[in-house]
Amino acid sequence: MTVLEAVRGDITTQPLDAIVNAANSSLLGGGGVDGAIHRAAGPRLLAACRDLRRTAYPQGLPTGAAVATPGFDLPARWVIHTVGPNRYAGQTDPALLASCFRESLRVAREIGARTVAFPAVSAGVYGWGGAQVAEIAVATVRAETADDDPVKLVRFVLFTDALREHFERSLA
């Protein structure tokens, strides 16, 4: 059974197997949680992302897809990068956001991560409402984790109390 929980905090300090980054398609960093993760992981993270652009993702990471890199200077062993839908670019399809959570879990299983932290993907710069992100995130993780799932813990790490309350409500 996968335990789901919501905490207030900074995802870069989470000592879990993997933390999920709300990246953009370029994979070359940005603001928000992307910027925080790159700052905390150190320059090797950007180098690893540049390698991904030279190899697996020459066109960039598509919205809804996920890919892992090492965590380098982070306490987490891995970073799973995913690209959420951008409301300001007209990406309003909930299935795109659900895909971020589903694909990140798939990648977590591939790399053998048993504990995973997610931020509120798309709830910042990409303009999605916190309540809707919480609802989609919790429903997707619940639907995508089996009783004997190798992922044992999914921790939603929220930067604000308002977001944590949205997630607590969705988890209740």
Mark whether 147 is an active-site residue. Answer: no
Q: What are phi and psi of 96, to 5 degrees?
A: -65, -40
Q: Virtual CA dihedral for 138, 111, 55, 44, nearest 10 degrees?
A: 90
95: tokens are: 């299935």
3-class DSSP assignment, residue 14: coil
In the bound state with ligand APR, the residue whose beta carbon lies nearer, of 63 and 145, is 63
Lay out the site mask for ligand APR across 87-126 (x = CB under 6 A, - = otherwise).
--------------------------------xxxxxxxx
What Cα–Cα distance (Å) separates residue 99 from each residue in 82, 137, 154? 9, 10, 16
Q: Is 18 in the site for ligand APR (CB under 6 A)?
A: no
Q: Is 71 in the site for ligand APR (CB under 6 A)?
A: no
DSSP secondary-structure letter at 85? -
Helical segments of the chain, H only: 32-41, 43-54, 94-111, 130-144, 161-171
Question: To the nearest whole angstrom, how small is the minimum distance from the Cβ of residue 109 to ligand APR?
Answer: 23
Span near ligand APR by CB under 6 A; candidates 6-14, 41-49, 54-62, 64-72:
6-14
Q: Which of 6, 22, 80, 154 binds ligand APR (CB under 6 A)?
A: 22
N-to-C CA span, the chain = 17
What residue number has its CB nearest to ligand APR?
A: 30
Question: To the nearest whole angstrom, how small is the minimum distance from the Cβ of residue 25 to ligand APR?
Answer: 8
Q: Is 12 in the site for ligand APR (CB under 6 A)?
A: yes
User: Which residue out of 10, 17, 34, 147 is catalytically annotated?
Assistant: 34
Question: To the nearest whole angstrom, how small is the minimum distance from the Cβ of residue 98 to ligand APR?
Answer: 14
Strand partners, 27: none
Q: Which of 24, 63, 104, 145 binds ligand APR (CB under 6 A)?
A: 24
38 in the Ramachandran plot: left (φ > 0), alpha (ψ -120 to 50) or beta?
A: alpha
Binding site for ligand APR (CB under 6 A): 10-12, 22-24, 30-36, 84, 119-126, 157, 159, 163
